[in-house]
Structure 1
Amino acid sequence: MKLAILGGGGFRVPLVFSALVGDDATIDSVSLYDTSAERLAVIVHVLEQIRPSGHPIRIEPTTVLDEALAGASFVFSAVRVGGTAGRAADEHAALDLGVLGQETTGPGGIAYALRTIPVAMHVAERVAAVCPTAYVINFTNPAGMITEAMQTVLGDRVIGICDTPSGLGRRLAELHGVEPARVHLDYVGLNHLGWLRHATVDGRDLVAETLADEALLGGLEEAGVFGVDWLRTLGSLPNEYLHYYYDDRDAVAAITAQPATRGDYLHEQQHRFYETVAADPLVALDAWHRTRLDREATYMQEARADDEQRPSLDGGGYERVALDVMRAIAFDERATMIVNVRNDTVLPTLPPDAVIEVPCLVDAAGAHPLATTAPGPTEAGLMLQMKGVEQLTIRAALERDRRLAFTALALHPLVPSTRLAGSLLEAYERNTPGLFS
């Protein structure tokens, strides 16, 4: 089977490829599509050094989208429209106004979506024309909005993935010495906005046990982000990105106090990496490993209480989720996992076409959301507000409507006034000329 990776020159592509070479049965051909031939060449050097000698998996780089899609059974979408420079510009536009600029949770996510949705729609249309039976596994951020927009063309053949919910469940299971695959996760939310309410195994609830034990709770990364008292007050374990909602002002102050934003840091780091490998391809894999270790060790650094609460690099991230989804569909290996899918009637408070992040049964027919207990009023209220913002943003991008984009920004819970919403939109238009033309 063939996998097409869109954004094939991206820094995290080697993670996906490493998972593939360890799973011979799933994919035998990987087509890497990117608009930059230079970035593609660098990543190909890394992949060739990852691939064991004699391994049959083929690597096929291309800058032609239809060529990448032709014959693909799966399409993995991880594009970054505007590059890391666009991310950094979005962050600064917001921070200069005292507003969180985070690229998915904050209003920066709206700017990113406005740039990205037209590209994602073009991809969806080409998939429909070139490989209509393929499944699209979307990791392009903001993942919930991009998945929802692409579903207007491809329906349920687009599945959004994120490693954060499953990573939380895995770390919780390991904290208790339980095999993660045995634990049933009760998780509900939107992408980067959700709560792990229960984690049951053999009649036990690992969430309740953890909240009741201060030593155990202190061993979770989330304790360093939210604090033990707040986690106990919530009575659940929130997705780490909820830090930006619960502690908005603290987050803005912490980010502003850093010598550079996350976007600045990644832009500079990746520039050095690609430049280094282009000059000396023999160091490609070593340079990638060193860059990745530094990148992950500094992830959400401004939100963590101390250096002891660093994210784990073990156990697999989004590449593992992507491979599990592909295996479940390709070989009808029925599996339950948390992914982003169409709501239908799962959460009655949200529109049927809204993409939500919940446990799903994944099999040869795709991903099917499982019945779940409705979120409480505070969680549902935040979800409903953010889904309204997301759907306005999708419409603004599809219709090239500036007024809808302004409305989305003005209604975003992290934008404190309509005046600031207008200033933000003007800044985003300066950063991306022709945004609505």
Structure 2
Amino acid sequence: MTKKELKIAVIGGGSSYTPELIEGFINSYYELPIRDLFLVDVEEGREKLEIVGAFAKRMVAEAGLPIRIHLTMDRKEAIRNADFVTTQIRVGLLEARARDEKIPLRYKCIGQETTGAGGFAKALRTIPVILEICKEIEELAPDSFLINFTNPAGLVTEAVIKYSNVKSIGLCNLPIGTTMKIAKMTNADVSQVDMEWVGINHLNWTTKIKVEGKDVLDEILNKMPGSEGMNMKNIPDFGWDRDLLRSLGALPCRYLRYYYMTDKMLQEERGSLQNKGTRAEVVMQIERELFELYKNPDLSHKPKQLDERGGAYYSLAAVNLITSIFNNKKDIQTVNIQNKGVLDCLNNDVSVEVNCVIDAQGAHPVQIDKQPGPQIRGLLQVVKAYEELTVEAAIKGSYDTALQALTIHPLVISADVAKQILDDILNENQHFLPQFY
């Protein structure tokens, strides 16, 4: 990219995460010279947008940078001629997330924001809105990149791959967070840690870990059981079983606890529901406190309380990606892109989360050394089949396809339960799911 003054649109700009992103843009300004930063939101988020926007302007002023911050409800204005569009939206707000978590728990199934039936409900609401945004990008900023942080990131990326022509890359903070943890565990600089990822968003395995050129995977796996160092926020510290790790021969991502330790995770969720409420309800309280802080006219730096929100390294991942595209860096980052034969056990047109070379044209997958064995491939193929069905159901509004998606998901215990969960999701999300009505 040759343009020297950038326009970036942040859709979902009233998010409590936005100050994290602003901090990243400030820290990277001399590599990423943003001139116009548009924060856009929906009418229901106007108050939050105004609070976050005022805080963002104070942050930029404190840094002494010539970034112009624009607050708008006009998404098209924000997108028009943008170089990058980032999406961090939550269709239905946190109230919808709370429902997503509660509905599966009624039927003794995992209720989680991105995994299982909860992630399914979120995908049904989110995918049509993301595709509307993609149409606007195609019309108003056809050369721009869409950097998607909206969960479930893998499902959203797949929908964009299959149903739009936008240059899109899906992003999750989990890979960069895990890399930082490995660096901390091994007392190494993060630049000296190389990891190979195999899988899809929130269902991936690290099959190679090198620190300063030395293969340390086996050493890491032996350190892992019960090690708090490898856990990130939001996930209870249930130590991995040593025999499980040895038999896998890979380091599972934290979301695989829902599959490998379903009984413990379900017990934890049901206990939390009784004692603290859903994770969404906990986050609502954290957000109320954050926005009270953001209102303070004397606050011009990101408060440490934002770390409790659960989005560690979010801005680092986003800014690293955008900076690498803008500067044609050709470095390696772990992102969500089209498979194109990287994982030969999955179709070419689906989304995968793997290492990619990042340059001015986007993300290019790095061929992996060894295809996953059956212990990984089996679960991966089933969950990817669920994702393919979910994307189709979200776009076509097909009850039958939606039912099949839930029925084959490993965290939904039976076809009868799948039907009950689906009916509850549709009943409690009617306003957000017109495609089914």
Say whether the fold is shared (TM-score over 0.5): yes
Instruction: Report the counterpart of residue 422 of structure 2 in structure 1.
Output: 425
CA distance, structure 2, for counterparts of residue 119 and residue 200 of structure 1: 40
2:29 to 15, 24, 32: 24
How does 1:144-293 map onto structure 2 within 5 Å?
Answer: 144-155=154-165, 157-213=167-223, 219-221=229-231, 224-227=237-240, 229=242, 230-258=244-272, 259=275, 260-274=277-291, 276=292, 280-282=295-297, 289=303, 291-293=305-307
CA distance, structure 2, for counterparts of residue 10 and residue 295 of structure 1: 11
User: How many angstroms does 1:268 deviate by?
Assistant: 3.3
The one-letter code matched in structure 1 to 2:137 is V
2:40 to 27, 33, 41: 33
CA offset digits 1:222-275 (Å, max 9, x no partner): 89443352434433211101111111121111111112110111123324544x
The one-letter code matched in structure 2 to 1:40 is L
How does 1:343-358 map onto structure 2 within 5 Å?
Answer: 343-358=339-354
The one-letter code matched in structure 2 to 1:346 is V
Instruction: Report the counterpart of residue 3 of structure 2 in structure 1.
Output: none
CA distance, structure 2, for counterparts of residue 213 and residue 257 of structure 1: 29
Q: Structure 2: any 5+ residue segments left out of the alignment?
A: 1-5
1:409 to 402, 406, 411: 406
8 Å contact kept, 1:176–1:206: no
2:13 to 8, 16, 21: 8
8 Å contact kept, 1:6–1:79: yes
CA distance, structure 1, for counterparts of residue 106 and residue 298 of structure 2: 39
1:363 to 359, 367, 371: 359
> RMSD across aligned C-alpha pairs, in angstroms?
2.2
1:129 to 132, 139, 160: 139
8 Å contact kept, 1:156–1:342: no
8 Å contact kept, 1:93–1:428: yes
CA offset digits 1:369-393 (Å, max 9, x no partner): 0101211112111111111111111
8 Å contact kept, 1:93–1:427: yes
Q: Aligned pair in 2 of structure 1 residues 87, 214: CA closer, same or farther (>3 Å)? A: closer
The one-letter code matched in structure 1 to 2:143 is T
Instruction: Report the counterpart of residue 79 of structure 2 in structure 1.
Output: 69
8 Å contact kept, 2:86–2:147: yes
8 Å contact kept, 2:146–2:166: no
Q: Aligned pair in 2 of structure 1 residues 224, 66: CA closer, same or farther (>3 Å)? A: same
Instruction: Report the counterpart of residue 386 of structure 1 in structure 2.
Output: 383
| SS of the residue 1:196 aligns to | strand
8 Å contact kept, 2:290–2:306: no
User: How many angstroms does 1:46 deviate by?
Assistant: 2.1
CA distance, structure 2, for counterparts of residue 126 and residue 214 of structure 1: 46
CA offset digits 1:321-380 (Å, max 9, x no partner): 111111111111111011001001111110111100011101111100010121111211
8 Å contact kept, 2:11–2:87: yes
Q: Aligned pair in 2 of structure 1 residues 340, 293: CA closer, same or farther (>3 Å)? A: closer
CA distance, structure 1, for counterparts of residue 17 and residue 213 of structure 2: 38
Count of residues in correspondence between the two structures: 416
User: How many angstroms does 1:160 deviate by?
Assistant: 0.5
User: How many angstroms does 1:319 deviate by?
Assistant: 1.3
CA distance, structure 2, for counterparts of residue 216 and residue 209 of structure 1: 14
| SS of the residue 1:367 aligns to | strand
The one-letter code matched in structure 1 to 2:417 is L
8 Å contact kept, 2:192–2:213: no
CA distance, structure 2, for counterparts of residue 137 and residue 145 of structure 1: 14
The one-letter code matched in structure 2 to 1:235 is G
CA distance, structure 2, for counterparts of residue 319 and residue 87 of structure 1: 22
Are residue 376 (structure 1) and residue 373 (structure 2) matched? yes
The one-letter code matched in structure 2 to 1:73 is D
Q: TM-score, normalised by structure 1?
A: 0.90
The one-letter code matched in structure 2 to 1:416 is I
User: How many angstroms does 1:23 deviate by?
Assistant: 1.2
CA distance, structure 2, for counterparts of residue 219 and residue 2 of structure 1: 38
Q: TM-score, normalised by structure 2?
A: 0.90
The one-letter code matched in structure 2 to 1:282 is P
CA offset digits 1:14-61 (Å, max 9, x no partner): 111100011113122210110022111011122123224332111111
User: How many angstroms does 1:91 deviate by?
Assistant: 0.7
The one-letter code matched in structure 1 to 2:183 is A
Instruction: Report the counterpart of residue 78 of structure 1 in structure 2.
Output: 88
Instruction: Report the counterpart of residue 318 of structure 2 in structure 1.
Output: 322
CA distance, structure 1, for counterparts of residue 37 and residue 239 of structure 2: 40
Compare 46-55 and 100-109 and name the one that shifted more: 46-55
